[in-house]
Amino acid sequence: MLLLAGSVPVEGLSLVMGHIDYSPEGIEIGGRKLGINRGNEAMMTAACQVCELLGCERPVGLVAGDIGKREGSEAIYRYLEENLPILQLSVMTLHYIMPDLKLNKRVLQSVKKMPRKPVLIADAGSMYVAKAGGDAVFYDVFTPDIGELTFLADEKADHPAFTRGAIFHMEENVTELIQRAYAAKNAPKTMFVKGKVDYICHDGNVVDTIDSPCVETMEAVGGTGDLITGMISGLIYAGKTPVEACMVAGRANRRAGELAQPNPATQISEILAYIPQALSEVLESSR
């Protein structure tokens, strides 16, 4: 099973879990409809598109409403803590969630009780709490953007907002930031660094870079990183290695952007529509 977990911006929505259905209008989990939005909904849609294209079982979504008041996030942490040992997971992606060091550590304790550890992918709040808790090496894949990479490279910061200025200003030297993150054990085995040039890293080394097509306006579009995380999740579930999944997802994301021809006001749903075509093209060319 591919489990995708995180909060959605619906105040008061209690925990919902079930296979994810998707359409151009949005996703549906356990009978609950959710519109396309940046964050978990975009990530889940991209994962569903990969699974459909590659003939895999639909991913399972675990969501709860949270607009920052923590209730939904706490419900997700507690569900995972209590139920992970009995779930048959091969891949688990944790995304937007309120960072909570204690609760996340309890979830990781439950992962250790699973008969087989799933491939663990984290982005957004789940990546922040993993790094702040000193647990990054327990994960398999992180997908930071360049600002989040400076946070991973700063061994003293426990949230991107606390990245020290001197490190924030090192953004031009991405490879040094990557080395710092790995040296401080603040990076997992595989990392996809999103930026003008995408860097795919494994065990501390840059194993691939992607710089074309270059659609600069994508940087402004909220949710493009979520699509990469969703595609990586689906591709690993379909049998790709984490590095292979990063190589395909990064190229497909750029191609989808090229097809959508976005401007800085474009919304993520307009790029999502091109993911199946872009993925097909990239997978075909990599054969």
Partner 1 sequence: MLWFKKKKEKKKEYTGKPDRGLLIFAHPTTVISVQELLRDEGYDIRVVSPPPTYRTGCDLSVEFPFDAESAIVELLHRVGLPPMDVVPITSKGTEPLQFVRVKDFGRYLMVRAANMKITVDKESREIVNISGGGCPDVPFLATSMLGKRLREAPDPGEVGFSLCAYSLNTAREEMIRLIGD
Q: Which residues lie near partner 1 (CB under 8 A)?
A: 7-9, 37-41, 66-70, 72-73, 96-102, 104, 123-129, 132-133, 145, 147-148, 151, 156-165, 168-169, 216-217, 219-225, 263-267
Smallest gap from residue 71 Cβ to partner 1 (A): 10
Q: Which is nearer to partner 1, 242 or 262 (CB)?
A: 262
Q: Which is nearer to partner 1, 68 or 204 (CB)?
A: 68
Smallest gap from residue 167 Cβ to partner 1 (A): 10
Q: Which is nearer to partner 1, 9 or 250 (CB)?
A: 9
Single-letter residue type at 237: Y
Smallest gap from residue 217 Cβ to partner 1 (A): 6
Smallest gap from residue 44 Cβ to partner 1 (A): 12
Distance CA 2, CA 221 (A): 27
> Which residues are within 8 A (CB) of 236 and not within 5 positions of it... i.e. 6 or more apart?
91, 119, 121, 141, 242, 245
Q: Which is nearer to partner 1, 52 or 185 (CB)?
A: 185
Q: Which is nearer to partner 1, 27 or 282 (CB)?
A: 27
- 202 - beta bridge partners? 190, 205
Phi-psi group of 78: left, alpha or beta (phi > 0 → left; psi -120 to 50 → alpha; rest → beta): alpha
Q: Which is nearer to partner 1, 168 or 209 (CB)?
A: 168
Smallest gap from residue 250 Cβ to partner 1 (A): 17
Q: Which is nearer to partner 1, 65 or 240 (CB)?
A: 65
Distance CA 47, CA 43 (A): 6
Q: Which is nearer to partner 1, 59 or 99 (CB)?
A: 99
Smallest gap from residue 162 Cβ to partner 1 (A): 5
Measuring CA to CA, how many Å separate 49 from each of 46, 104, 138, 176, 187?
Answer: 5, 29, 28, 35, 28
Distance CA 260, CA 77 (A): 36
Smallest gap from residue 147 Cβ to partner 1 (A): 4
Smallest gap from residue 158 Cβ to partner 1 (A): 6
